[in-house]
Amino acid sequence: MVSDMSGLEDLFAAALAARQRAYAPYSRFPVGAALRAESGAVYAGCNVENAAYPLGVCAETAAISAMIAAGERRIAEILVVGPGPGRIAPCGACRQRIAEFGAGALVHLADEQGAIETFALADLLPRAFGPESLKT
């Protein structure tokens, strides 16, 4: 669903600020992400490319790593913003990472002007393999 920025201003600002610090000399596609942990704290990240392409880090992964380094473990919601007028969604690997720490998380996709589209993670990654899948 497309919605307004209501209640997401801090996530949007943090994701935009992180995006400005992205290291994307190869793709020229800077991405920023910011997540809200269950505690309410906000953690941001940007993509960091490498000449050896598989070694790059997605913005969502960087934000999740910052949350984990701060001692938190649960994502309540995450916002992703990339270049251009369109909204981008997390790649499959990042969707799986979000599922690890926020199976019920909301995923907000924003364009540079602040238009938001919100999804439940389950809608973006149906039947995800997660920690509960390992329980016997």
Does residue 4 surpass a pLDDT of 60?
no
What range defines the domain where residue 17 resides?
A: 7-112
Give pLDDT, residue 120.
95
* Residue where the block lists tokens 């953690």: 43
Is 55:29 a contact under the CB 8 Å cutoff?
Answer: no
What is the distance, to the nearest Å, from the Cα of residue 20 to the centroid of all Cα atoms in its chain? 15
81 inside domain:
yes
Give pLDDT, residue 53.
86
94 inside domain:
yes
Q: In the structure, what pLDDT confidence band is assigned to residue 7 with cuts at 50, 70 and 90?
A: confident
36 inside domain:
yes
Mean pLDDT (whole number) for 25-53: 97
124 inside domain:
no
Give pLDDT, residue 84.
78
135 inside domain:
no
β-partners of residue 37 are: 75
Give pLDDT, residue 65.
98
Q: In the structure, what pLDDT confidence band is assigned to residue 107 with cuts at 50, 70 and 90?
A: very high
Q: What is the pTM of this model?
A: 0.91
Instruction: Give the CATH number of the domain where residue 21 resides.
Output: 3.40.140.10
Q: Which residues contact 69 (CB under 8 A, 6 or more apart)?
A: none
51 inside domain:
yes
Q: Which of 34, 35, 32 is nearest to 48 (CA)?
A: 32
By annotation, the residues acting in catalysis are 60
60 inside domain:
yes
Looking at the structure of the chain, the number of domains it has is 1
Mean pLDDT (whole number) for 60-76: 98
Mean pLDDT (whole number) for 13-28: 97
CA–CA distances in Å: residue 22 to residues 26, 27, 61, 101? 12, 11, 13, 23
119 inside domain:
no
